[in-house]
Amino acid sequence: MYNLNMVSATDQTEQSINSYSQATECLRQLPNDHPKLNHWLRWSHEAFAQQRWRENLQQCMVVAYARMALRNGTLSQSPRSYHNERHINDLLLRVIYCSEHAQGHISKEGMALLSMFSACHDLRQAEAQKPSSDNSLVGANEMASFEEAIRIIKLIGISELWTEHHLLLLKTMIEGSTFGSGGKRSKNFFQGNLAKHLLTQLELTNTDDNELVLLACDLDTANVCLPIDQFAASAIHIFDELISHQNTQLSAHQFFSQQQKIYFFDQQAFHAQITKDLFQSHKTANSDKLLLLSEYIANLPDDLSADQIKQKFKDRANQLSNI
């Protein structure tokens, strides 16, 4: 269960953006052509027009977005190429797409939780690894991201949106977005969706709640549905971040060939009915192109540099996108 009084380490970003006014001032520093939160704010103004908690949610979102831009993105001294504020924009576009194509299947409160999840699930990306004695499958980054989300909610003020139940759903969404196999501790946990494992422990009585949590985590990995050239661009951003921020010893040759197939076919899957209905066909349409792209990289000479492989990966994806 969540704890509204939880205490964990804040950082310079939280101290720098500790109010809605500071967040709005921070966002003014972004370039004029930056999307900011403008599209979502326009959408939410209409979508939540009759909800008393609309302004509260919007302010929470602005604070989260500004912190992401300052800590990990455009305004950061050490920007991340994937987990930055533009990743929030990507997820919010998917949330809006779901609202437009799954009308009647997601409540207003559900859309609000999906929005807050999008803004907060990756707030923390550099937390210390948990001790080996911690048997939880939830990642340290995800745990810290939820804790910061709670602090943002408290900072803006507890509105009627933030019921105990809704906060539990938000917690499960964020912690369930932990991605990976879970290693030896996983047992019955399958790759790519910790949310389903966590939901079996909660035993929620409302099936819509289960679907909402699964939907959130599905949207996080829905880059598999992008046109193949855009999918390739996201893969390059992920690779660059692994090298620059996690000091990963990673073969570009393997990452852009074998690892892409593993992610696409083995690790990523859609589990909510809405994402199956709206996104699965797009992923299926990408399957053959992804195989061709991975095979092309696998057949390249082993002595090519990472930059050369990335360029060839990008060029080949662009070719395949026109087929």
Per-residue pLDDT of 194-226, as tens digits, reads: 898 899 889 899 999 999 999 999 999 999 999
pLDDT at 303 (0 to 100): 95
The alpha-helical segments, DSSP class H, found in the chain are 12-16, 20-27, 38-47, 54-71, 85-101, 108-120, 140-156, 164-176, 194-202, 207-220, 228-245, 252-254, 260-261, 273-278, 280-298, 306-321
The tokens for 52 are 């008393």
Confidence of residue 3 (pLDDT cuts 50, 70, 90): low
Q: What is the mean pLDDT of residues 135-160?
A: 94
Q: What is the rounded CA–CA span in Å between residue 170 and residue 176?
A: 10
Q: What is the rounded CA–CA span in Å between residue 87 and residue 219?
A: 11
Q: What is the rounded CA–CA span in Å between residue 300 and residue 49?
A: 54
Residue 185 has pLDDT above 60, yes or no: no
The percentage of the chain sitting over the pLDDT mark of 90, rounded to a whole number, equals 83
Confidence of residue 191 (pLDDT cuts 50, 70, 90): very low
Mean pLDDT of the residues in the chain? 92
The percentage of the chain sitting over the pLDDT mark of 70, rounded to a whole number, equals 93
Confidence of residue 104 (pLDDT cuts 50, 70, 90): confident
Q: What is the rounded CA–CA span in Å between residue 64 and residue 161?
A: 17
Q: What is the mean pLDDT of residues 315-321?
A: 98
CA distances from 13 to 63, 112, 288 (A): 11, 24, 43
Domain ranges in the chain are 12-220, 223-321
Sign of the CA dihedral with 15 first, then 142, 255, and 321 last = negative
pLDDT at 129 (0 to 100): 83
Q: Is 220 left (phi over 0), alpha (psi -120 to 50) or beta?
A: alpha
Q: What is the rounded CA–CA span in Å between residue 58 and residue 60?
A: 5
pLDDT at 131 (0 to 100): 81
pLDDT at 220 (0 to 100): 95
Confidence of residue 8 (pLDDT cuts 50, 70, 90): low
Q: What is the mean pLDDT of residues 284-297?
A: 98
187 or 305: whose pLDDT is higher?
305
Per-residue pLDDT of 217-272, as tens digits, reads: 999 999 999 999 999 999 999 999 999 998 888 999 999 999 999 999 988 999 99
Torsion angle defined by CA atoms of residues 81, 87, 88 and 90, in that order, rounded to the nearest 10 degrees:
150
pLDDT at 130 (0 to 100): 80
Confidence of residue 193 (pLDDT cuts 50, 70, 90): low
pLDDT at 188 (0 to 100): 37
Q: What is the mean pLDDT of residues 172-191?
A: 65
282 within 8 A of 189, measured Cβ to Cβ: no
SS (H, E, C) 274-321: HHHHHCHHHHHHHHHHHHHHHHHHHCCCCCCCHHHHHHHHHHHHHHHH
Q: What is the rounded CA–CA span in Å between residue 174 and residue 76?
A: 23
What residues have CB less than 8 Å from 147, skipping those under 6 apart?
6, 8
